[in-house]
Structure 1
Amino acid sequence: MAAGFELALDAQCALGESPLWSVAEEVLRFVDIKGRRIHRFDPASSEHASTQLPEEVGCIGLSDDGGLVAGLRSGIWLLDGDGHAVRKLADNPEDQRTSRFNDGAVDPAGRFIVGTLDETREWGDAGLYRFDERGLVRIDGGLITSNGTAFSPDGRRLYHSDTFRHVLYVRDYDPATGEATNRRVFARFGSETDRGRPDGGAIDADGCYWTALYEGGRVQRYAPDGRLIAEYPVPARCPTMVAFGGRDLRTLYCTSARAGRPEAELAEYPLSGALFAMRVDVAGLARPLFHPPG
C-alpha cells in the first residue's frame, strides 16, 4: 500500500518533531522545537492550531489526565491539552545553557522515558532518563543527541538512538520496574556519501522499527532482528520523526525541518518543515498514557 509520503500540512516548522496521535480525539499533535510551539492538527477537518511556549519543547506524550507531558529545556512539565503549563515535574539536571530535553516516549506502564541533547556536540554530556513517581533517574549517559525512543509491542525492548553518532541501540526493558539493561547496537547509519542518520522512530504492530533519517531524505523500516526491509523517500531533506495515526493507525505521519538548511536545499525541497503522511499496510500501536505523580 505504501506509495510514498505526501503533504498533509504545510506547517512551515523550523524544526518539526514528536508527532503524537490521540486515539481518543483523533487528532495529531507535534512540536516545533525551535519555533517553541505545540501544534494540533485534525486531518478529518484540516483544522490546525498551535500554542506558543516560552522555551523550546523537544517532545510530548499523552497524559491520562487529558493533558500532556513534555520535555522542555528547563525540565519535564505537565501541560494541559492545549499545551499551556500546569506544573513542573522535574528539572533538567544538566547545564541548561547547552542542554535541553529532546526526544522521549511514554512506556507501557506510564513512565516518561526522555533524553537530552548536548548542543556543543563536543562534550557528550547528554543522557537518557526515566521519570515516574520516584523522580528522575539517569539510564544512560555519554550521549550527544538522544533520540528515537520507542518500545516493542510487548514492552520488553527499548529502542533509542544517538543521532550525531549515527547509531541506533536496543536494550532489554522491564515494564514492571522500568529497568533498561544490556545495551547493544541495533543498526548503524551513514557513510562518506550518505549523511542520513537516525532521528525519531516508531514501532508497528509487527514489531518493526521505523526511523526518519535526518539529512537522508527518507524513512526506513527495520525488522526486529535488525534487517533493513524497506525505505520510502520524503519530500524533505531532513525528515525528523514518524508516528502512526488515523482511525486504523495505518497512516504514518512524518515531521521535518527547515531551520539552518542551505538555500539550494530549500529550493529543491520547498516543503521542508511540513508534515507528511503515507498509508501503510501494517498498523501502528496506540501510544500509552503518562501517569502524573500525585
Structure 2
Amino acid sequence: MTTTPQCIWPLAATLGEGPVWHPVEQMLYFVDIKGHKLHRCDAQGEHRQTWDMPDETGFALPAQAGGFVCGLAGKLVHFDPATGEFTSVTQFEADRPGNRLNDGHVAHDGAVWFGSMDNAEAAASGALYRYDGTALTQHDDGIIITNGPAFSPDRQTFYHTDTFGKTVYAFDVTADGTLANKRVFATIEAPGWPDGSAVDSAGNVWVAVFRGARVLCYSPAGELLQTIAFPVPNITKIAFGGPDLKTAFATTATKGLTDEERAVAPLAGGVFAFPVDVPGLPQHMIGFIK
C-alpha cells in the first residue's frame, strides 16, 4: 500500500470541510463552507451528489433517525436530503453576531460537540459547546478559530484545537461528562496551522494542517508518529471510512490561494484518500432527532 494521497473528487471546493463517513449508507459526506454546499460520494469518489445549503455550514453530522444536523451561524438545523427541508433545532450566540460554526463531532451518547469562531478570523469570540437535544453547555471559550473536537477510544480524553494558537489541547472527561485538566497535547510547528482532527481505534490523533500541505499522526502520548504529505496546501480534516474503516478521506480548500499557488496545485479543494494500517473509530449517529 502507498500512503500517497490520491484525489478522488477534484471539485475545487473553496473551503471543503467536515468529512464524515455515513455508517449506514457507506458514503462520504462533506461540506464546502464558503460555497454553501453539502456533497456526497462513495469511497472511490463516484456516485456524486450535491445539495445547496442556506448559509455557511460548518458541519453536517448524520442523525440516527435520518438526515443530518448541520451547524449554521448561531444555530443547529436538521436537514432532510430526501425532501430538501431544513428544520430549526436550537439557536444560540445571539450576542456574537460575527460568529459562525466550524467543526463538529458526534459523541458515543448521540450528543454533538462543536465550536464557533469569528468569521472574520480576528476576534477571540469562538467557544466550544455540547448539545444533547435538551441542554446547550459551554466547555471552552476565548478562541478565534475552534477546531477538531474528538474523543479518545476509551472516552476518557477529549481533544480540541486552537487553530491560530497552533495548539491541540487535551482534556480529561469527568464522570459527569464535563471537561477538566486542560493541557497542551501537541504544538504544530510551521508551516501551517492545525485544522480538524480525527482519532483512530488505537487512540492516535490525526491532525490536518491548513497551509501546511500535510496531515500529522500523533500517539496518545503526543509523540509524532507519521507525516502524510499532500500535493495541495490547505488540508482541513480527515475521516476514516470504507468497509473496514482503513481509508482516510481528506477535505482540502482553495481559500486564500493566489492564482500562482492554484496553478502549482491544481487539485486544491479536492477530496483525497489514502490507506491506513490502523482502522478508525465507527461514526456515531446523533440521537436527539426524532
- Same fold by TM-score greater than 0.5: yes
Q: In structure 2, what is the equivalent of residue 213 of structure 1?
A: 209
Deviations 1:127-168 (A, max 9, x none): 000101332111110011010111111111111101111110
Task: Assess, with a 3 A threshold, how the Cα gap between structure 1 residues 83 and 99 changes in structure 2: closer, same or farther.
Answer: farther
* CA distance in structure 2 between the partners assigned to 1:220 and 1:196 by the alignment: 12
Task: Assess, with a 3 A threshold, how the Cα gap between structure 1 residues 279 and 258 changes in structure 2: closer, same or farther.
Answer: same
Output the aligned Cα RMSD. Answer: 1.7
Q: In structure 2, what is the equivalent of residue 141 of structure 1?
A: 141
Give the alignment of 1:96-115 within 5 angstroms: 97-115=97-115
Determine if contact 1:189/1:198 at 8 Å carries over to the other structure: yes
Q: In structure 2, what is the equivalent of residue 196 of structure 1?
A: 192
**What's the secondary structure of 1:164's corresponding residue?**
coil
* CA distance in structure 1 between the partners assigned to 2:172 and 2:223 by the alignment: 18
Give the alignment of 1:118-133 within 5 angstroms: 118-133=118-133
Q: In structure 1, what is the equivalent of residue 184 of structure 2?
A: 185
**What's the secondary structure of 1:267's corresponding residue?**
helix
Q: TM-score, normalised by structure 1?
A: 0.94
Does residue 234 of the first structure (1) align with residue 230 of the second (2)?
yes
* CA distance in structure 2 between the partners assigned to 1:38 and 1:178 by the alignment: 31
Amino acid at match of 2:14: A
* CA distance in structure 2 between the partners assigned to 1:61 and 1:273 by the alignment: 21
Determine if contact 2:8/2:44 at 8 Å carries over to the other structure: no
Determine if contact 2:59/2:71 at 8 Å carries over to the other structure: yes
Amino acid at match of 1:285: L
Determine if contact 2:96/2:125 at 8 Å carries over to the other structure: no
Q: In structure 2, what is the equivalent of residue 164 of structure 1?
A: 164
Determine if contact 2:126/2:145 at 8 Å carries over to the other structure: yes
Determine if contact 1:201/1:211 at 8 Å carries over to the other structure: yes
**What's the secondary structure of 1:165's corresponding residue?**
coil
Determine if contact 1:92/1:101 at 8 Å carries over to the other structure: no
* CA distance in structure 1 between the partners assigned to 2:161 and 2:210 by the alignment: 12
Q: Unaligned 5+ residue runs, structure 2?
A: none
CA deviation after TM superposition for structure 1 residue 72, in Å: 0.9
CA deviation after TM superposition for structure 1 residue 109, in Å: 0.7
CA deviation after TM superposition for structure 1 residue 245, in Å: 0.7
Residue of structure 1 aligned with 2:278, choices 274, 277, 282: 282
**What's the secondary structure of 1:40's corresponding residue?**
strand
Determine if contact 1:67/1:81 at 8 Å carries over to the other structure: yes
Deviations 1:49-105 (A, max 9, x none): 110011000012111102111111131111124593442121131556410010010
Q: Unaligned 5+ residue runs, structure 1?
A: none
CA deviation after TM superposition for structure 1 residue 208, in Å: 0.1
Task: Assess, with a 3 A threshold, how the Cα gap between structure 1 residues 107 and 83 changes in structure 2: closer, same or farther.
Answer: farther
Give the alignment of 1:74-93 within 5 angstroms: 74-81=74-81, 84-93=84-93
Percent identity between the aligned chains?
36
